[in-house]
Every structure is written in C-alpha cells, then in structure tokens.
Amino acid sequence: MHQFHCPVVDSKGKTARELMNIAAKEASEGRVRKMNLIWLEAAGCSGNIISLLDAKYHDLLFFLSNVVDMRYSNSLMAAEGHKAYQQFLDTLKTEFILVVEGAVATKAEGRYNIIARDGERPVTSMEAVKLAGSAAKYIVTAGVCSSYGGVSAASPNPSGSVSVPDFLQREVIRIPGCPGHPEWIMGTIAHLVYLGRPETDDEGKPLMFYGITIHDRCSRRSYFDKGIFAEKLGDKECMFKLGCRGPITRTDCPVREWNHNVNWPVEDNTPCIGCARRGFPDGMEPFVRY
C-alpha cells in the first residue's frame, strides 16, 4: 500500500528549537566548533536582521554563543569603518557561512547600496556579495528579496536589483519571507553547522520549514473544504476568495506563528499575501480582492 510522504513529519526531530539544542550540546562538549558567519545587508529594509533580533526560542545571544561566530554584520558588529571592513576581508580567508538579506542592486555599478569604504573607494554590497559569495562554504538568502528579488526588484526596479542566486549563479539555501522567521533562519544555520546541508526542495528551500502549504495547516481549512468563504475582511470563514495566497505558499506559519509564537496573518484576519513565494510582490497583487 502506498504511504503518504510528508517532509514536515519526517523532519519533526529536526525542528529549529531542537537543532539549536543540538548545537548547544555539541559546542559544550567540544565535538564541533562554531563556524564563522558573515551577514550582509544588501538592497533591502533590514527586516531580516530585525527579525533575528526578535528571536526568543532560542534567542540571538544563544545563537551567537553556541552556533556561529558572527564576524561581520552591517548592523550588529562593534567595529566600525576600516576595522569593520578589514574584519570582513579577514573572514574571507576562513571557513564561513554567508547570509545575505536584500537583493543585489546592479545599476550604476551597484552604488545604490554602499556598505564600506576601502580608503577613499566606496565598497558596494554588490562587490561584497561577489567577494564573499565566491569564498563561502554555504550561502543562505534571508528573506524574499535576497531569495527571489522581492520588493527590491519589484517594478519598475530602478536599481536593477536581482536575487542573490541569479547574481552569483551558485547554489544557495533560500529562506524566503518578508521577513524570514527567526526560527527558519537560525534553524537552517544550526543545521548547516552541525548536520550539514538540510534537505531542500527544487528551489533550495529547507523542507523542514517549507515542506507543505499554509493551506494544508490553516485553521480555516475546514471552511474551504465545505465551500464556505469570507465575504469581507473580519469574517471568520476561509479568505481564499478575498485573495489569500495560502494554497500556493509553502511555509509553516500556521503552526510556528510569529512574535514569539503568538499570532500569524490569517489568525489576525489578514489574507496570506504569498511573501515567501517566487514572484512576490508583483505576482501576488492585488493582496486583497473582492
């Protein structure tokens, strides 16, 4: 008899929190050392680094103490100016994970987004992503802009922004979302450090977080199955006919929830807008329709 294969169920022993617990145990017993990490904020809103700061189970301090040594971050590192950029260059000579949030602006030689100066010469995020991307052991794209272009590459795209995979032409692990959930980001990185590359779909998204659709686990699914649909925002029934993109968006938002696992858009009477999908936002608009 054919058995249904559910990648989320298969990965239930490797969820974000359990991965972080493995990380702490491995680090404390000295079996695996922490890996260096470069976090570059390219052409975006910095929403993913803010999302990371909002992590609770486990928090950012735990992540930095037990999983990675964050050697460079536009927002979080203590060093400034030339010292910060030199630390970035020094890390390129080590084994490290590169995390990029925001798309890569390519117009005007990338000068839409300058992250440092090398003497008097401005260093663009385009240059930094190219340098780090050629040397990194793993590349993780945090958020929909770095993963697929997202808002940064939305029409008319005056900065010529493109996704990191399109820019580097290298295999990456995509963590899309606007922003990415902190547990998706930290869980994936913990897996890379202590267990290697996680199982992914054909777009490079980890199946443990992106294995099934929002629609599959939505709290309003029973209304859909019975053909009962909301007519306006605030109605308790299924919001599919109001433009909800849950049936075509693969994330575990309904069971993981946001803001310390308190709530998520549909529970707050807002249709899913497909922010973790290729083509967001242009291909997902209008976000609400009647």
Instruction: Point out the least confidently predicted range of 21-30, 72-81, 178-187.
Output: 21-30
Read off the pLDDT of each residue in 239-256 and give the average, rounded to a whole number. Answer: 95
Binned at pLDDT 50, 70 and 90, residue 14 comes out as low
Binned at pLDDT 50, 70 and 90, residue 13 comes out as very low
Read off the pLDDT of each residue in 61-76 and give the average, rounded to a whole number. Answer: 92
Q: Which of 48, 25, 51, 23 is nearest to 35 (CA)?
A: 23
Binned at pLDDT 50, 70 and 90, residue 10 comes out as very low
The residue among 290 and 228 whose pLDDT is bigger is 228
Read off the pLDDT of each residue in 200-228 and give the average, rounded to a whole number. Answer: 95
The predicted pLDDT at position 106 comes to 97
The predicted pLDDT at position 20 comes to 77
Res 39 pLDDT > 60? yes
Q: What percent of the chain has pLDDT over 70?
A: 93
Average pLDDT, the chain: 91
Neighbours of 281 (CB within 10 A): 19
Map out the domains of the chain with their CATH numbers.
Answer: 7-210 (3.40.50.700), 214-284 (4.10.480.10)
Res 5 pLDDT > 60? no
Residue-wise pLDDT tens digits, 157-188 = 999 999 999 999 899 999 999 999 999 999 99
φ, ψ for residue 31, nearest 5 deg: -80, -35
Binned at pLDDT 50, 70 and 90, residue 25 comes out as confident
